[in-house]
């Protein structure tokens, strides 16, 4: 299991376009990727769930990756978020 936190830098927060970009990326991996914020959790691959977290710019989200390709997902996802969220 891999775990990390990330502070959202995108101005509009984790919904609409940025949420879609990140959610799409998560679907590349077989691992289960769960993002949690403010007591709520969402599977990163599911856009509606991700958007319903209501995480905004400056909020800190926690991401847990579990599965066969978790190392790869962890290594690639961190820079991807830095770039896109």
Partner 1 sequence: MKVFKGDPIAKGIAMGKMFFLHEPEENASSVKGGPDEEWQRFLKASEKAMDQLNGLYEKTAAELSEEEAAIFEVHMALMEDEDFTDAIRENIESGMEASAAVSEAGARFSEMFSQMDDEYMRERAVDIKDITIRLKNILNGIEDISVKEPSVIGAGELRPSQTMQMDRKMLLGFVTRYGASNSHTAILARNLGIPAVSGIDDVKDLDGAFVIIDGEEGKVISEPDEETIREYEERSAKIKAQKEELLKLKDEKTVTKSGRSIKLYANVDDIDDMELVKESGAEGVGLLRSEFLYLKSSDYPSEEELFKAYRKAAEEMAPKEVIIRTLDIGADKQIDYFNLEKEENPAMGLRAIRLCLKRPELFRTQLRAILRATAYGNISIMFPMIISTKEVDMIKDLLEDIKKELVSEGSEVGEFKTGIMVETPAAVIMSEELSEKVDFFSIGTNDLTQYTLAIDRQNKDLGDFFDAHHPAVLRSIETTVKNAHKNNCIVGICGELGSDITLTDFFLDIGVDELSVSPSKILELRKHIIASE
- The residues annotated as belonging to the active site are 15
**Site for partner 1 (CB under 8 A): which residue of 11, 39, 79, 83?**
11
38 binds partner 1 (CB under 8 A): no
First to last CA, the chain: 23
1 binds partner 1 (CB under 8 A): no
Question: Beta 40-43 vs 60-66: how paired, if at all?
Answer: unpaired
CB closer to partner 1, 1 vs 20:
20
- CA dist., res. 63 & res. 61, Å (int): 7
Torsion of CA 45, 51, 52, 56, to 10 degrees: 130
CB closer to partner 1, 7 vs 71:
7
Question: Which residues of the shown chain bind partner 1 in the complex (CB under 8 A)?
Answer: 7, 11-13, 15-17, 19-20, 23-24, 45-49, 51-52, 54, 56-58
């Amino acid at each position: 299991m891999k775990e990390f936190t990330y502070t959202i830098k995108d101005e509009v927060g984790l919904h609409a376009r940025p949420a879609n970009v990140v959610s799409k990326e998560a679907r590349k991996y077989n691992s289960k990727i769960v993002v949690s914020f403010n007591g709520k959790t969402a599977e990163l691959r599911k856009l509606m769930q991700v958007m319903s977290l209501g995480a905004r710019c400056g909020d800190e989200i926690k991401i847990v990756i579990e599965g066969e390709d978790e190392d790869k997902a962890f290594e690639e996802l961190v820079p991807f978020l830095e770039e896109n969220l």
